[in-house]
Structure 1
Amino acid sequence: MTPSADSPVPAPRRTRVRQVIEQLRARIADGDWPLGSKIPTEPQLVDAFGVGRNTIREAVRALVHAGVLECRQGSGTYVVSTDELSGAVGRRVADAQATEVVEVRRAFEVEGARLAALRRTPEDLAALDRALAVREAAWRAGRVADFVSADVALHTTIMAAAHNTMLAELYASVGAAMQITLTDSVAVGGELTPDRYVDHGRLVEAIRAGDPIRAAREAGAFLEAPDGA
């Protein structure tokens, strides 16, 4: 039967799939489905988005391929990355040599610290003080996972103080992937040891002082490659 002039014309299938992909991305980005959580079942997604099962399956498959979602047989589909870039970076970091990871971190963190020293605001400095305090408390308590998360949070706060949106977004993707590798660098046998401690107080003070040269030097000092490159 030919639709009447007043009948809504259904969107083409590929368009519907793209729309669902964007809706799924938005739910993940907004924190409705946090990292590590299981997304709703296929029937629930069908009801939520008002589309057919095949459309849902294609959209989920696309995000699985992009590294954002992971299907676990007999368990469900889980969020393993917040966006496609993080997923791609995560796979690349997992395959990289340790020296390459250090060099990439240094490239981001040295420039981020330099810019933060030039552009930090009073609000940025307050956020840095809070992040540093949380990091130090986690170290004193000997909580490896908490310390690694706090260390990443401090460096992410420095990137935010650099006030370069692209730099902050790229570092967020790299930083999330590097969180796993950081555990190996700060802990021995699952425990924090004094010889692995790195003082970040001088880095924060250099940013507070508005000294880009010193801030860059402090950021790079604990990210030297093994060969001293």
Structure 2
Amino acid sequence: MLQKTNRLTLVEQVALQMESLIESGKWVVGMRIPAEPKLMTELNVSRNTLREAIRALIHAGLLKTKQGDGTYVCSSSVLGVVLQKRILHSDTLQTLEVRHALEREGAHLAAQRRTSDEANELLLQLERCEAAAALGDIDGFVTEDIRLHQSIVAASHNEILIELYDHIAEAAQDSITSLTRYEVGADFLEMHRQLVEAIVDQDADRAVAAVHRYIAESQAVLDVKGGKQP
């Protein structure tokens, strides 16, 4: 027997509208959301209804309040929140294994689907990575390295893969930073150059092989850090 449809409360409707603003990119991560009076006018709701909706999104992990400053967007989707919480309870090796799966498929598809503009942007982004490494700027390198991998996955033109990878990269940044402090060297940079050049050349097999190489190098670094090797 069919169940009677439950109607959303006004608070739930407002929360969904605000969530839509976040997921659509109109409210980006790090942005302070508009003040209460403006939101009350735009959404045509009372102060109490608005505050309840905001509390619901804070509880969901999409918003956070800074005392005396305002309310800020802290994640771009509920999926991102879930992944962040999961990664916090996972070790670096498991995170690396997930990155391997996503980056491998991203590289494979990017080599087949990248546009000429995307190929040029990948080469420019690679140069930014190399410049940061040459300066010994580890934090800068991590930022540019994440952007490089996000650009590669974006060139796959698979929207689900892009969204998953963006959330993984955002959630795993601390572990990536920790690992990168040990592994940035000429060989590691050369593997990334090989990856980008394979995608530019539209050689999917060579691109996948490059991903395998730098992930294997990262796993070897983890083994050394963990005392598994002499």
Which range moves more in the overlay, 20-29 or 60-69? Answer: 20-29
User: What TM-score comes out, normalization by structure 2 length?
Assistant: 0.80
3-state DSSP of counterpart to 1:82: coil
Aligned to 2:189: 198
- Aligned residue for 1:126, secondary structure, equals helix
Q: CA deviation at 1:88?
A: 1.1
**Which residue of 211, 215, 226 maps to 1:219?**
211
Q: How many angstroms does 1:195 deviate by?
A: 7.3
Offset at 1:108? 0.3
Runs of 4+ that moved beyond 6 A: none
Code of the residue aligned with 1:204 in structure 2: it is V
2:174 to 157, 169, 180: 180
Tell whether 2:136 aligns with 1:133. Answer: no
| Pairing 1:148–2:139 present | no
Structure 2 residue ranges without an equivalent (≥5): 1-5, 224-230
Aligned partner of 1:47: which letter? T
- In structure 1, what is the equivalent of residue 226 of structure 2? none
**Conserved in 2, the CA contact under 8 Å of 1:132 and 1:201?**
yes
Q: Is the 8 A contact 2:130 2:189 kept in 1?
A: no
Other structure's SS at 1:174 match: helix
| Counterpart check, 1:210 vs 2:202 | yes
> How far apart are the structure 2 equivalents of 1:212 and 1:128?
15
**1:45 positional shift:** 2.7
Distance 1:74 1:13 in 2: 35
TM superposition score normalised by structure 1: 0.81
8 Å CA contact 2:87–2:171 kept in 1: the answer is yes
CA contact (8 A) 2:133 2:184 kept: no
Query: Cα gap change, 1:31/1:162 in structure 2, threshold over 3 Å: closer, same or farther?
Result: closer
Determine which structure has the larger helix proportion and give its number. Answer: 2
Distance 1:196 1:38, change over 3 A: farther
Asked whether the equivalents of residues 90 and 174 of structure 1 are also in contact (C-alpha less than 8 Å), the reply is yes
**Aligned partner (choices 8, 12, 19) of residue 18 of structure 1:** 12
Question: What fraction of aligned residue pairs are identical, expressed as a percent?
Answer: 40
Cα separation, partners in 2 of 1:112 and 1:141, compared to 1, 3 Å: same
Q: Is the 8 A contact 1:67 1:87 kept in 2?
A: yes
1:90 to 71, 80, 84: 84
String of CA shifts for 1:106-150, please: whole Å, max 9, x gaps.
Answer: 010011111111222212212211221222222223333322221
* 37-46 or 197-206, which deviates more: 37-46
How far apart, CA to CA, are the structure 2 residues paired with 1:187 and 1:168? 26
Per the alignment, residue 164 of structure 2 pairs with 170
In structure 1, the partner of 2:151 is 157
Q: 1:136-192 CA deviation, whole Å, 9 max, x = no partner?
A: 22222333332222111111111111121111111111111112221111126xxx9
- Given residue 49 of structure 2, which amino acid in structure 1 is its aligned partner? T
Cα 1:95–1:125, aligned 2, differ >3 Å: closer, same or farther? same
How large is the Cα RMSD of the aligned pairs? 2.7
Contact 1:187 1:196 in 2 (8 A): no
Compared with structure 1, are the counterparts of its residues 214 and 193 closer, same or farther at alpha carbon in structure 2 (3 Å cutoff)? closer
Q: Assess, with a 3 A threshold, how the Cα gap between structure 1 residues 49 and 25 changes in structure 2: closer, same or farther.
A: same
Shift, 1:95, TM fit: 1.3
Aligned partner (choices 83, 105, 108) of residue 102 of structure 2: 108
Q: Structure 1 residues 122-131 or 43-52, which shifts more? A: 43-52
